Every structure is written in C-alpha cells, then in structure tokens.
Chain A
C-alpha cells in the first residue's frame, strides 16, 4: 500500500495481515512492525519506535498495546482503535479454529509436531526483535550497559520488571544515558 492512501485503511491492512503471521505473540512481530512503520510507511522514526515500545512495556496489559500506540501516532484515537482491532481480530478467529481443530484431532501427533516446530521460530523472531530494538533504543554505550544489566538482572533474579524500567527511567532522567 502507498503512503498516500487513507492511513486508517493502511493501518487496518498492515496489522490485519500481520496478526495472521504473529507467531509467538506481539513481541515476535516487532521486527515486522518496525520494518513497516519506520522503513516502509515512514509513520515514525527509529527513536519514536523505541519510545513507543518503552511506553507499551510500562503500561499494564498485554504486549500487543504497542500496536495501539503506533495506531494512535498515525491517526489519533481512530487509528489506535483500528490498529488494535485489526491486530487482535483475525488472530482471535484463527486461534479459535485452530484450537478446535487441535482438540478434535487430539489423538493425532500433529499438534505436538506443529508446536515443536513453531517454538524455535518464535524465539528466533524475538531475538530479531531484541536486536532491532537495541539498535533503536541504545544510542550510547551507557544505554547498552543499562540494557545488558537489565537483561542479566531480569534473567538471574525474580525482581519485578517494573523496578528495572523505573531504574532505567531514573538513569535517563539523570542524564546518564
């Protein structure tokens, strides 16, 4: 779709298609969101994309909220609504039919095979998300250090992630990053 078409339609189309390919959840779809929103449609800059990701992680609720924020920045409240519905609707319908299919064929080995096959895919996608977001967010070596420390702390301890986000915010406010 061209950028001169209606942005609402463009949002609905982009996220409607994306939702069908969102193997591994919204965090795994981040590279595609970034590619479309920053590189293809020029809806936002790299920096804004990192901001939007940060806000979506701060907010209570599912990761898919990043879509709401992208929609809002493109076309206001209507954009937020359309983007969210487009991202959730098709997936919900697909998930419903797939789960019905899975329970019906519970004697077969296909569900297990498909699950085994999709796990590495979604982890690979999340890895790509990590790389793209790190490139967008970590503009300085100090930022890279904060990312690394947050990753290690979150991995090794049971600290509430909100504390880490808060600490990052404080360091940013203090001008360290």
Chain B
C-alpha cells in the first residue's frame, strides 16, 4: 500500500527538480548499502578460502554484470554446474 502511494507520488512529482536531486542522493547511498551487504555475504567464502566458490561467484558476476546475458540462460548452465562441483568436492572429502 505504502509503496503504491509512493509510486503514484513519484509518477506525479518525479520531475520536480528538488525531488530529482534527493532521489539521486538516496539511490547513490542505496547502492552503497547493497555493496556492503554483498561484502558481508562474501566474507565467509573469503575466510574459508573457498576458491572454487569465489570463481563461481566471479563467473556469474561477469556473465550477468559485464556481458549482460539473460538470467535464465546463465542459471540453467550455472546451477547444474555448481551443484555438480559441490557434489564432487563433497564426495572427495568423504572418501
């Protein structure tokens, strides 16, 4: 509900200069928050020296972020691949 009201307000007043400037500032800060959440999630992988995990992470980042490939196509390759890798690592560790 709140969000719909905000959306309506944005649609009507989004062109007002002061609001435009405020939104630019807020979006810059919001991206910062996202990046900090990202590093928080990455810390366990780095601490564990989980090299394979970090390589998979980087590969997904490049495919989606830099190459801008469609998400379904990337995931249809990445999910089975990642599960297979995790499975073989687990099996080697237990045997």
Footprint of B on A, CB under 8 Å?
17-18, 21, 23, 27, 29, 31-32, 35, 39, 48, 50-61, 65, 68-69, 72-73, 77, 80, 109, 112-114, 116-134, 136-139, 143-144, 146-155, 161, 164-165, 167-173, 175-177
Structural contact, A154 and B36, CB atoms closer than 8 A: yes
| Contacting residue for A173 out of B6, B18, B64, B82, CB 8 A | B18
Q: CB < 8 Å: which of A17, A52, A131 contacts B72?
A: A17
The B interface is mostly helix, strand or loop, or mixed, namely helix
Interface footprint category on B: 35 or more
Looking at the assembled complex, report how far the CB atom of B91 sits from the nearest CB atom of chain A, in whole angstroms.
9
Contact across chains for A73 and B11 when beta carbons are under 8 A apart? yes
How many A-B residue pairs have C-beta atoms within 8 angstroms? Tell me: 246
Contact A35 B18 (CB under 8 A): no
Residues of B within 8 A of A139 (CB): 24
A147-B28, A154-B32, A165-B29 given; A127·B71 CB < 8 A: no
Residues in A whose Cβ lies below 8 Å from that of B21: 172-173, 175, 177
Interface residues of B (CB under 8 A from A): 2-4, 6-8, 10-11, 14, 18, 21-42, 45, 50, 53-54, 56-61, 64-66, 68, 70-72, 75, 78-79, 82-83, 85-87, 90
